Amino acid sequence: IMATGYFVMAIIVSWRFALFGLFGGLVLFLMFRIINKYMHKLSKKGAAEMSHLNSILVQSIQAFKYVISTNQNNRLRYIVFKSTRKLKEYAYKSWRTVGITASVREPIIVLFILTIFFIQIRYYDENINTIFVVLILFHRAVSSALNIQSSWQGVMSMIGSVEMVNDEFDMLVQN
């Protein structure tokens, strides 16, 4: 709501400037949508792998005597280590994406605002006072929108587990 309010105020102050800002905001939205889909996919893979690992561990604990007596512990160890490596890889990719997003947030805002500033001064001969007011409004709006994006990315990193539980409940209801 805050971001929308800042964009509306920017439109009132300078509609041309605001249109450029909205176009840039749409580009950012599309870029982050791709990142969110990637995070969602990683979350689902991680949740599935965690479920597989838990299943293997529970089965091995329940059949511990059998595993030891048939000398299956080395095979089981290999499966557990392989699953753990996959989980580590998914977690690394997920946190790397979060880190990249967090580190490029401010440079994207600055580049975005400076580009609009340059276009307004160079091509539209806009009043500098108006530009500064709209720049402050845009900075606040984009910062607010990117904070929402960061929070949403955190949700997307955990959504795979929630979806797995939901799918299990749906399967129980059907049976």
In the prediction, which pLDDT does 1 show?
76
In the prediction, which pLDDT does 67 show?
85
In the prediction, which pLDDT does 71 show?
85
DSSP string, 76-133: HHHHHHHHHHHHHHHHHHHHHHHHHHHHHHHHHHHHHHHHHHHHHHHHS---HHHHHH
pLDDT tens, position by position, 84-138: 999 999 999 988 988 888 888 778 878 887 887 888 788 887 788 888 888 788 7
pTM of the model: 0.71
